[in-house]
Amino acid sequence: MPEKNSADVSAILQKQKTAKPKMEEVIPEYLDGEMRKTALDFAAFLRAEKTPPVWTLANAWKAAYKGKALCYIRMPRGPFDNQFDQKGMPAGDRSRNFWVVTLYLEHLDEYEQTIANEGLRELVWGNLYHCNNCHPGRCAPGVDRTILGRNINNLCCGRPPVWLWNPGEAAIAGIKRLLELEKKARADDAKKV
């Protein structure tokens, strides 16, 4: 597999570091057609929910709630951007037309029954980030964890478990619902303190 193109990453980082562009400004450079529309709609949703995506790194934005990451949105950082190699990652030239939403579902167990009742388990189970030796010596071959009642092997220990590649309308609807549930669980936790 080709190495990540560090020159591309550096160029993007330098260009964006000062400007800290809104996600909506960068989406048209990397996404086309329905994928572009879906990503722009998702960015608008996050803003409407008062969890605006804020630039964090080269082609990466974070939406936070209660001071912690709720999700990250990432786009390509060069033609050999292989740091996120997973089954959902597109093959070939990785300089355009993919994006990924990473969910930080810290309270997943608290709304597990709602996820089951609403048919969202398969969305979570089908989009788990498995170890790809991205942290040599620390993680490989990954960790085993129970997620929504299912034992999952070889999850990456250095990244959040749920990654959705190029989500379409149905996946975005599920993502929105999961984010709503996570926000409610975080708000309920804050009330307990």
Count CB neighbours of 106 within 10 A.
16
- Which residues are registered as beta bridge partners of 163? 102
Residue 24 makes CB contacts below 8 A (sequence gap 6+) with 40, 43, 44
Question: Ramachandran region of residue 92, left (φ > 0), alpha (ψ -120 to 50) or beta?
Answer: left
- Which residues are registered as beta bridge partners of 100? 74, 165
**3-class SS string, 68-115:** EEEEEEECCCCCCCCCCCCCCCCCCCCCCCCCEEEECCCCHHHHHHHH
Model confidence pLDDT, tens digit, residues 25-80: 999 988 889 999 999 999 999 999 999 999 998 889 999 999 999 999 998 765 44
Q: Are strands 162-165 and 143-147 parallel, antiparallel or unpaired?
A: unpaired
Q: Where are the domains of the chain?
A: 6-192
Q: Which residue has the tokens 């597990």?
A: 112
Model confidence pLDDT, tens digit, residues 114-164: 999 999 999 988 887 766 666 666 666 767 777 788 786 776 776 777 889
What's the half-sphere exposure (Cβ side, CA atoms, 13 Å) at 111?
Answer: 23
In angstroms, the CA 157 to CA 82 distance is 18
pLDDT recorded at residue 55: 96
